[in-house]
Amino acid sequence: MQCDEVQELIYLEAAGAEDAAARSVIRDHLAKGCVICQAALAEATAAAAQLPLNLPPCPPSESVKKELMRRIKTATPLSQSERTSATPEPKRMPRKLLLWPLVISTSLAAAMFLVAILSLQANENLSREHLKDLTALASLQKSFLRDTARLSQLSHQMHDAVAMEKRKILSLETKLAAAESLKAMIGSPALEMASLHGSSPMRTAWGRVMWNDKMKMWKLCVFNMPHLPNSKTYEVWMITSGGKKMPAGLFNTDYKTQSALVTPAVPPNKHEMAEIAVTIEPAGGSPQPTGAILLAGHIG
């Protein structure tokens, strides 16, 4: 399945409305290692996770925290018990590549420390030399700890920067794909065009519709149409020669430019269509137009 089809489903999954089929499509796709869809899912999930922040917070009763702290005294984290048992190296470390240098240097410091202690035990005479070495080692260890903290901070900053770049790339890729499909559509000899004219109360509105029957693509550009409040939407209609009106998509214009580039739904029976028109409808759209036709053009 293609990335854009998967991304349709990703939003459902992020909101928690996916069904089993959608879930398995997403799992299969991500298992192939698609970083774009992985990033899209992470972003959509993060957006959905903002929803609880809109709820009034409720402070839990004190007994909950008391019980929690009592529980964790007796329960060791799984990660912790795994770590102290067989494997000498922390399980989480290998994927944090950035932390490798400091893992090595800290182990080195620890080893040096151990050697110093061992030699101390062997030599019962605690000479001034040893004491000096120990002090030096202790200060060395201190500075390693400082570096560790600093490196860990840097790693987080780097992590954030990478995530931000990934988001930018994703958004640029989406834009590029849209631009490329538009270029292919316009560059093809099969392109047809028609103008749309505004009528009262939007006389200055105008538009242009382009379609490419071969590619089954439609684009509608509209201008001089005010940005609508959230309670309303523009709705596109395809009208047959018999006057039957079919809904073909919703849009709003840009607040600043008062324009929009819209991809109307492709009518299955294009040859029957005589006109394309735009009305204002309540948010969410209507099955049949309830508002006056503000913009229209002949496509038959």
Partner 1 sequence: MTLSKEDQHNDYELMAALAGGDHDALSVLYDKYAGVMLALCRRILRDATEAEQLLLDVFTEIWQRADRYDERRATPLTYLLTLCRSRAIDRCRSRRSKHGKWAVNDFTTDNTMESVMAPGQQPAEAVSSGEQGHLVRQAMKTLTDIQRKVLELAYFDGLSQSEIAEVTGIPLGTVKSHVRMALIQLRQKLRKED
Which residues bind to partner 1, rule: CB under 8 A?
A: 8, 11-12, 14-19, 22, 42-61, 64-65, 67-69, 71-73, 75-80, 82, 91-92, 95, 152-153, 156-157, 159-160, 167, 230-231, 233, 283-284
Taking the least distance from each CB to Zn ion, the nearer of 37 and 102 is: 37
- Residue 15's alpha-carbon distances to 4, 9, 49, 52, 210, in angstroms, are 18, 10, 9, 12, 35
Closest distance of CB 199 from Zn ion, Å: 44
37, interface contact from Zn ion, partner 1, none, CB < 5-8 Å by kind: Zn ion
Taking the least distance from each CB to partner 1, the nearer of 16 and 187 is: 16
Task: Tell me how many residues contact Zn ion (CB under 5 A).
Answer: 4
34, interface contact from partner 1, Zn ion, none, CB < 5-8 Å by kind: Zn ion
| 3-state DSSP assignment of residue 183 | helix
Closest distance of CB 10 from partner 1, Å: 9
Where do we find the tokens 């018990």?
A: 81
Question: What mask, x for binding Zn ion by CB under 5 A, covers residues 2 to 21?
Answer: -x------------------
Residues between 21 and 80 that touch Zn ion (CB under 5 A): 34, 36-37
| 3-state DSSP assignment of residue 268 | coil
Closest distance of CB 178 from Zn ion, Å: 17
Taking the least distance from each CB to Zn ion, the nearer of 5 and 192 is: 5
Taking the least distance from each CB to partner 1, the nearer of 194 and 247 is: 247
132, interface contact from partner 1, Zn ion, none, CB < 5-8 Å by kind: none
The Cα–Cα gap between 128 and 133 comes to 9
Angle, CA of 43, 96 and 91, to the nearest 5°: 110
Closest distance of CB 1 from Zn ion, Å: 8
Report residue 190 as tokens: 């099969």
Taking the least distance from each CB to Zn ion, the nearer of 34 and 98 is: 34
Taking the least distance from each CB to Zn ion, the nearer of 40 and 202 is: 40
Report residue 119 as tokens: 């030699």
Closest distance of CB 38 from Zn ion, Å: 8
DSSP string for 104-137: HHHHHHHHHHHHHHHHHHH--S--HHHHHHHHHH
Question: 44-53 long-range contacts, Cβ below 8 Å, gap at least 24?
Answer: 44/10, 44/11, 44/13, 44/14, 44/15, 45/13, 45/14, 47/14, 48/14, 48/15, 48/16
Contact criterion met (CB below 8 Å) for 41 and 13: yes
The Cα–Cα gap between 122 and 7 comes to 66
Query: Which residues bind to Zn ion, rule: CB under 5 A?
Result: 3, 34, 36-37
